[in-house]
Copies of this chain bind each other. A is one copy, B any other.
Amino acid sequence: MLFMVEMLVQIPDSVAPETAEQLKREEKAFSQKLQREGKWPHIWRVVGQYANVSIFDVASNDELHTLLGGLPLFPYMKISVTPLTQHPSAIAAD
């Protein structure tokens, strides 16, 4: 089941730089683990912004919230979620 997830990262000044770097390393590792498991099949950088557009493939809303809430940068992100479904013109199940 597919969802478009848009994430905008805004780390406040009150987070120490080394903490921020550590969070980003953990975020990357977490993201890559989910990509390898097939739950996060696409992640793109939005040009000119510290933001991404992602596609998640999960079994349920619950699983999606658990994954997003577990992101190390979750407290510093604005996230919007758009449920997607198969398009009638699509030539392949996606």
Contacts and interface: CB of A to CB of B under 8 A. Distances in A.
Contacts of A46: 82-84
Interface residues of A, number: 47
B68 A48 contact: yes
Contacts of A87: 43-45, 52
A64 B47 CA distance: 7
Interface of A: 1-5, 12-14, 27-28, 31-32, 35-36, 42-49, 52-53, 55, 60-62, 64-65, 68-69, 79-92, 94
A55 B1 CA distance: 18
Contacts of A49: 79
Contacts of A60: 1, 85
